[in-house]
Amino acid sequence: MSEKKRILIGATGSVDITLLPACLKAIKSHIDCQLTVMMTPQAGSFIPAETFRLFCDRIISGDRPADWPTDKPSKIVNDHDIMAVLPATANTLAAVAQGSAPNRLTTVILAADFPVLFFPVMGAVMWKKPAVARNIDQIRADGYEVIDPIWHENYDPALQRVVGHPSLPDSEAIVKILQESLKRIGLNRA
Quickly state the pLDDT bin for 2 (edges 50, 70, 90): low
Specify the pTM: 0.92
Which region, left, alpha or beta, applies to residue 143 given φ > 0 means left and ψ of -120 to 50 means alpha?
left
Residue range 85-129, pLDDT digits in tens = 999 999 999 999 999 999 999 999 999 999 999 999 998 899 999
Is the per-residue pLDDT at 159 higher than 70? yes
Q: Is the pLDDT of residue 189 over 50?
A: no
Phi, psi of 181 (to 5 degrees): -65, -40
Q: What is the pLDDT of residues 33-81, one digit of tens each?
A: 999 999 998 998 889 888 888 899 999 987 777 766 778 899 999 999 9
Q: Sorting pLDDT into bands at 50, 70 and 90, what band is 1?
A: very low
